[in-house]
Amino acid sequence: MPIELFRSTSLLPLGAEVSAQDFLDAARGAGEYLRDFAVEGERGIFWRQAPGAEPQIEFYAGSAGIVLFYLQLAAATGESAYLEDAIRGGEFIVSELRRTGYNYPIASAFAEFEPYRHNETTFYAGGFAGVAFVLIELAK
């Protein structure tokens, strides 16, 4: 069932109907775009926040969020290539956790703000809880 989407861009005119397929096509486009930034490592794939930046595994601004996106895209489309991207990204995350003895230095974007300053490694969006959630989703 199409929905009305209020947008003021040239991509979708005001009041344009957007279908579920339109959303899925846009998600596929995002998936293809993100592939351009994937870095193939010997222990899986990861995505950098910027060229030359150290890879991060966190959910908010690291590979875990992208892994979850690919997992959901695979489920929505049935396309195995997206599932493979999710699995390879998960392999990198697990290898990084093992490499650091599960003491991975998560560089949260929120670490400078209270109340996150003292617990930036535990909360969902930028810490281990978000990473663990994604790994559980992969295990399903």
> Which residues does 52 contact at the CB level (< 8 Å), separation at least 6?
none
Output the tens digit of pLDDT for each of the chain's 140 residues. 334 443 334 455 555 687 888 889 999 999 999 998 899 988 999 998 888 888 888 888 889 999 999 999 999 999 999 999 999 999 999 998 998 887 776 655 555 554 444 444 555 556 778 888 999 999 99
pTM of the model: 0.77
9/66 Cα distance (integer angstroms): 26
Nearest to 37 by CA among 53, 59, 60: 53
Number of H helices and E strands in the chain, helices first, is 4, 4
